[in-house]
């Protein structure tokens, strides 16, 4: 079996946005397949009692500076979306709709959604905005619209969010290589070293 | 004025321990003086409502693995102390006692205290253990013992802890270069880049 990275993230997670810019290149360098798994981080916050970043005094202000620096470090545009956090349900459903038949197209959509949210502070929270972005990538507007209300797609996102809870995912982005958990954009070098050395 | 890094940490912070292993070499590479500022992180937890790591479900288990990996990555021994967290008041007071006259000796003591706590899972929480370690470095047992009860030393630690709150320090380790804040052992590369480029 080939090497495999599982990449769990919430579309409203700014550090998830940064990780999404780098994870495929990392996978390519290490000959590892990357499986993208958007989920709803709110469920983890509820399970652990961890508050959303913006609700933590001092840490929230710090994060704004840190994100600007971290994005500049890797050379990607970054703006803080308003409002933040935003509802990421529609974005995640659209992802799983495409992922069923074409994971490359799903990743392309994910990057476009992330670029809109954190590259331009655009709205991807509302059901109307997500099809707009999908249409820009050549997808059919009615098909996307229908997918966002499809009971099977809804169930798929719930299933992945349940898996995230079972696997004790408490933040975003969150990665697994085999059973090894890595939390945070800043752990990509650790993850890469793990793949390189086989964990030794 | 020369370059300067302020290094705030709590002696019971495992990521503070890791940062302490690397910060002086970083300062030397960048021609920056490093000012060590042990403080009592509990005051920040109280002010922000952030719970101590061990009290957060899932995150606490994750941190054990992460710390083991992060320590191996930089080639330093690491064990999880029991009990954890521990009282770091005596260690911090001993630091300020030496720092008054000889900051190099204070840093040497800090590294010895950290090595005891996180390199050997030894006890540095109790007033009796701290003088033992100081004596091992050639300091006078009675002088250390007296310092731990010295009202001026006690006031110094309170003053630094108050400064930490004023500067919105919510975690350990926490660094400043000028007015730029960096939180976490994993932000040392960001801090170094800031020094290298002058923040551009």
Q: What would the pLDDT profile of B87-121 be if each residue is shown by its tens digit?
A: 999 999 999 999 999 999 999 999 999 999 999 99
Q: Which residues of A touch B182 (CB under 8 A)?
A: 66
- Judged against a pLDDT cut of 90, whether residue A1 lies above it is answered with no
pLDDT score for B1: 64
- Using a CB-CB cut-off of 8 Å, the residues of chain B touching A170 are 56-59, 62
Note the pLDDT of residue B112. Answer: 98
C-beta of residue B36 within 8 angstroms of C-beta of residue B95? yes
Nearest to A48 among B48, B58, B70 (CB): B58
- Which positions in chain B touch A184 (Cβ < 8 Å)? 186
Contact of B72 with chain A, judged by CB distance below 8 Å, is answered with no
**Cβ A57–B66 below 8 Å, yes or no?**
no
Percentage of residues of chain A with pLDDT beyond 90: 92
Q: pTM of the predicted model, to two decimals?
A: 0.96
Q: For the residues A150-156, what does the mean pLDDT come to?
A: 98
Q: How far is CA A183 from the centre of its chain?
A: 12
Q: ipTM for the complex?
A: 0.94
Rounded-to-integer distance, Cα A27 and Cα A7, Å: 11
- Please classify residue A193 by burial: count the beta carbons closer than 10 Å to its beta carbon, then call 0-12 exposed, 13-18 middle and 19+ buried: middle
pLDDT < 70 regions, chain B? 1, 200
Question: Quick one: average pLDDT of A134-149?
Answer: 96
What are the tens digits of pLDDT across the range A81-105?
A: 888 899 999 999 999 999 999 999 9
Residues 6 or more apart in contact with residue B109 via CB below 8 angstroms: B94, B95, B98, B133, B134, B137, B139
Sign of the alpha-carbon torsion through A119, A123, A126, A131 = negative
Dihedral (C-alpha) A146, A151, A152, A156: value to the nearest 10 degrees? 110
| pLDDT of the residue at A200 | 63
Dist CA B188 CA B174 (whole Å): 10
Express each pLDDT in A3-18 by its tens digit: 999 999 999 999 999 9
In this prediction, residue B199 carries a pLDDT of: 78
């Amino acid at each position: 079996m080939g090497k495999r990275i599982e990449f769990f993230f919430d579309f409203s997670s700014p550090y998830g946005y940064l990780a999404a810019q780098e994870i495929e290149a990392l996978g390519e360098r290490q000959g590892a397949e990357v499986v993208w798994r958007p989920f709803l981080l709110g469920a983890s916050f509820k399970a652990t009692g961890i508050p959303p970043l913006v609700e933590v005094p001092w840490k929230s202000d710090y994060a704004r500076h840190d994100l600007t620096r971290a994005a500049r470090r890797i050379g990607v545009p970054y703006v803080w979306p308003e409002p933040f956090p935003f509802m990421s349900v529609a974005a995640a459903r659209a992802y799983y709709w495409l992922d069923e038949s074409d994971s490359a197209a799903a990743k392309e959509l994910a990057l476009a959604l992330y670029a809109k949210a954190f590259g331009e502070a655009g709205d991807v929270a509302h059901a109307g905005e997500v099809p707009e972005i999908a249409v820009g990538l050549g997808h059919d507007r009615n098909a996307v619209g229908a997918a966002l209300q499809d009971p099977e797609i809804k169930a798929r996102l719930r299933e992945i969010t349940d898996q995230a809870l079972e696997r004790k995912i408490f933040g975003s982005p969150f990665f697994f290589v085999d059973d090894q958990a890595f939390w945070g954009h800043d752990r990509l070098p650790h993850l890469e070293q793990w793949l390189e050395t086989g964990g030794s």
